[in-house]
Amino acid sequence: MEPGSYLRYKPGAVIQPFCDPFVKTLCRAYKDTHCENCLELSPNIKFCASCLKVGYCSRKCQKEHWKLCHRTECRCESFRNFVGENPDAFLMFFRIWATVKQNPEMAAASVQLYDGSYKSFNDLLANYYFPNSIPPGEEEQKEIIEVLGWKDESGDFDFLRNSTWIIRLNGFRICDPENVSIGTGIYIQSSIFKHSCKPNAFCWVRGSQLQIRAIGHIYEGKLLIYSSRNFDILNSDFHR
């Protein structure tokens, strides 16, 4: 069933309330100045003493990230030794893999979508298979497969291929207060919407939380389509 607006939305109406990302990553360009866990700017970034790949603003953030995914990342030799040309893409693949591996119950947990239905990250992995098309990022996949030692027959290639689509279609830039992109978040809640250059809804990321609002009047039964461009509501032509 195609996603439609079951309610009538006025310009500026909230369609999807603020939601947290399933996973998020910090751009490597900011690893020396921002925390890997909360993505906040900090003058006291201290790197993991074991892998020296990720840094944190506090002991609290380090512990939270360790329990979430970094315990798995840190112990993987491929993560420690990666020196490829696209570290941000590699890290996102790795972050997804580590989170699902370390916290399978988190991947299986369903979140409520705007229309009242529920979806889990595992549902995304199962439904992003396109047998007759080659997903974007094929060269990135080959590089990651080579580095991690994953093989087609192991089944992990399916995970990588479907993760590629998830990253491309549900990845949104996370910006600092100056609207500078410092990271990327993957949001399960955005997966129900279609993408278009002529949207009737838009996504706004505040901190690391995503919200989806109507641009114009959206009538009952109208397909909801959004642009992945981030808007600054306070400095745009948008009015509630």
Task: Report pLDDT digits (tens) over 151-194.
Answer: 544 456 677 777 777 877 778 889 888 888 899 999 998 888 87
- Mean pLDDT across the stretch 54-77? 93
Say what the pLDDT of residue 104 is: 93
Q: Where would I find the H helices in the chain?
A: 59-65, 71-74, 77-81, 87-102, 104-108, 121-127, 138-148, 156-170
The fraction of the chain above a pLDDT of 70, given in percent, is: 76
Contact between 226 and 9 (Cβ < 8 Å): no
Region at 40 (left for phi over 0; alpha for psi -120 to 50; beta for the rest): beta
Give me 224's structure tokens: 């909801």
* Average pLDDT across the chain, whole number: 80
Q: Which residues of 93-128 are buried (b: 16+ CB within 10 A; e: fewer)?
A: bbbbbbbbebbeebbeeeeebbeeeebbbeebbeeb
Say what the pLDDT of residue 38 is: 94
pLDDT of residue 32 exceeding 90, the answer is yes
- Mean pLDDT across the stretch 222-234? 61
With bands split at pLDDT 50, 70 and 90, how would you rate the model's confidence at 237?
Answer: very low
Domain boundaries, the chain: 1-21+193-240, 22-186
The fraction of the chain above a pLDDT of 90, given in percent, is: 35
* CATH dotted code for 1-21+193-240: 2.170.270.10
The tens digit of pLDDT for each residue in 97-151 reads 889 989 999 999 999 988 889 999 998 887 654 444 445 456 666 666 665 555 5
DSSP letter at 69 equals: I
Q: Compute φ and ψ for 78, nearest 5 degrees.
A: -65, -35
Would you give the end-to-end CA distance of the chain in angstroms?
29
Say what the pLDDT of residue 125 is: 81
Say what the pLDDT of residue 169 is: 73
Say what the pLDDT of residue 135 is: 52
Tell me, what amino acid is at 128?
Y
Kindly report the CA angle at 152 between 24 and 156, in degrees rounded to 5?
A: 30
Say what the pLDDT of residue 206 is: 83
Burial class (CB in 10 A: 0-12, 13-18, 19+), 54: buried
Q: Which residue has the tokens 């696209």?
A: 86
